[in-house]
Amino acid sequence: MNIRLENNSVAVKEILERGCEKWLEKTAEAITQKVRQNTSVDTGETRDGWEKIVNKDAGVAIVGNTLENAVWEEFGTGEYALSGDGRKGGWVYADEKGGFHFTRGKPPKRAFHKAYLQCENEAALLAEKIIREELK
């Protein structure tokens, strides 16, 4: 009886890396699209500010927004702050047109958190699907 062992670990590793890269890209895009759909729209600036960055070498995908308002929308402000440590009693602010308004803050909308939850199960299934396709 003749037994021959063949080491395919390098090829398998390349296949898995390629699959992970595809998964990162597709999952980050799905979350980005969902968070844009979930974001409240006044001017559209916050909604349009959501972006994804995928670092394939590090195996990391980042979905984020550089606008300060995105943080306020996500976690709320003042008396409505998600952490409970917002300013109490309200305050007055001036808008872009010079008008003054009293507010106690804004409730958290949780656009990003909701997007993550909406994509969580789908992302796990997508990883399995992509890896299976790559292994064929």
Domain-wise residue ranges, the chain: 9-135
For residue 95, what pLDDT is reported?
92
pTM of the model: 0.85
Q: For the residues 8-37, what does the mean pLDDT come to?
A: 95
Using a pLDDT cut of 90, give the percent of the chain over it.
96
Is the alpha carbon torsion for 88, 91, 96, 97 positive or negative? Answer: positive
User: To 5 degrees, how large is the angle CA 113–CA 119–CA 120?
Assistant: 85
Q: What is the pLDDT of residues 93-117, one digit of tens each?
A: 999 899 999 999 999 999 999 999 9
For residue 18, what pLDDT is reported?
93
Report which residue type is found at 50: W
CB 35 within 8 A of CB 52: no
Distances (CA, A) of 101 to 92, 93, 94, 129: 5, 5, 6, 52
